[in-house]
Structure 1
Amino acid sequence: MKEFEERFRELQADMISICMEYIDDRADKVYIYASCEGNIIASKFFYLINNQYVKSHQVNDALEDEDERYDASPKRGFMVLDILNEDIEKIEALCKENNKDMPTEMKLIYDVKSGHFTAEYNYELVYTNDDVKTASYSANEWFEEVQHNRL
């Protein structure tokens, strides 16, 4: 049991780590949306930087004039998403190996200043049984919720 939880935590820590690397460890908070539903694996990530919530491709919009700019190129963003999706696949395999339910949705929040990590898991179908929703739709919905409620 302990091995499962340890490995699960390590994979989540890897997800946070790659998102921190993307912004050179310069953010107040990191948010990761991870989805595994049916045969769909998807992820998105965004940040709180200088009191502004920004999607990964918009990180430079939150910088002060004197701040060094981020490399927010599409190529770099897709590299992060590839690693996040690989980690989700590894979590899925870990859950299968240990006869555990795989969350359909994981919302990870890492507060950089305090080092506090929170995770919210959902095991219900979120979008595969919906005519309109997609993983991307759900991730954007969470971004709006976080932005509105300043989580």
Structure 2
Amino acid sequence: MNKSFEDCFSELQADMVSICLEYVKNRADKIFIYCSFESDIISSDYYYKINGRIVERHKLNDAVLSSEKYDVSIERQRGVIKILNGNIGKIIEICKEYGREMPTEMKLVYDVQKNSLKATYKYELQYANDPVKTADDIAMEWFQQIQAENS
């Protein structure tokens, strides 16, 4: 039986959540995943809510007691980004295969306790027409927005 577009798309998003959850060994309240594809450039980032604090992936230990340290090594961070970017590449392929428009931006918010995923998509350019902004700038703006909403 052939999988539907929605099944393929959902599986890849679930894999993104899974790798980000594995990175924190299931010890997070929420996971925030940013994905971007503009001008043939794939980009991603991910953040967490841990103990009520919104933290970047390399600052997880700022949100925990000293006995609960996370491994935030560069190698592990790069490994997650490689998988996220690979999944974005696969999403590009399934969008082509099914004749669907590829989002320029995906924001995934996974609530660990509720086991619920919320996703928002944009299809218009977010930074490609801006003379100075990059995908990293947009990702950081979202991180700062999440921080402000949770402070």
TM-based fold match above 0.5: yes
Aligned residue type for 1:74: I
The RMSD of aligned alpha carbons is 1.4
Aligned residue type for 1:148: A
Aligned residue type for 1:22: Y
Aligned residue type for 2:88: I
Consecutive aligned runs of 4 or more in structure 1 exceeding 3 Å deviation:
none
Cα separation, 1, equivalents of 2:72 and 2:123:
32
Cα separation, 1, equivalents of 2:142 and 2:83:
21
Name the counterpart of 1:89: 89
Cα separation, 1, equivalents of 2:59 and 2:99:
39
* 1:55 CA drift (Å): 0.4
* 1:96 CA drift (Å): 0.6
Cα separation, 2, equivalents of 1:44 and 1:65:
25
The gaps in structure 1 that reach 5 residues or longer are none
Aligned residue type for 2:121: Y
Deviations, residues 85-142 of structure 1 (Å, cap 9, x unaligned): 0000000100011110000000000000011110000000011110121000000000
* 1:149 CA drift (Å): 1.2
The gaps in structure 2 that reach 5 residues or longer are none
Name the counterpart of 1:107: 107
Cα separation, 1, equivalents of 2:121 and 2:31:
17
Q: 3-state SS of the aligned residue for 2:125?
A: coil
Deviations, residues 9-31 of structure 1 (Å, cap 9, x unaligned): 00000000000000000000000
Cα separation, 2, equivalents of 1:145 and 1:73:
26
Q: How does 1:17-28 map to 2 (within 5 A)?
A: 17-28=18-29
Cα separation, 2, equivalents of 1:115 and 1:72:
24
Name the counterpart of 1:35: 36
Identical counterparts, % of pairs = 51
Name the counterpart of 2:63: 62
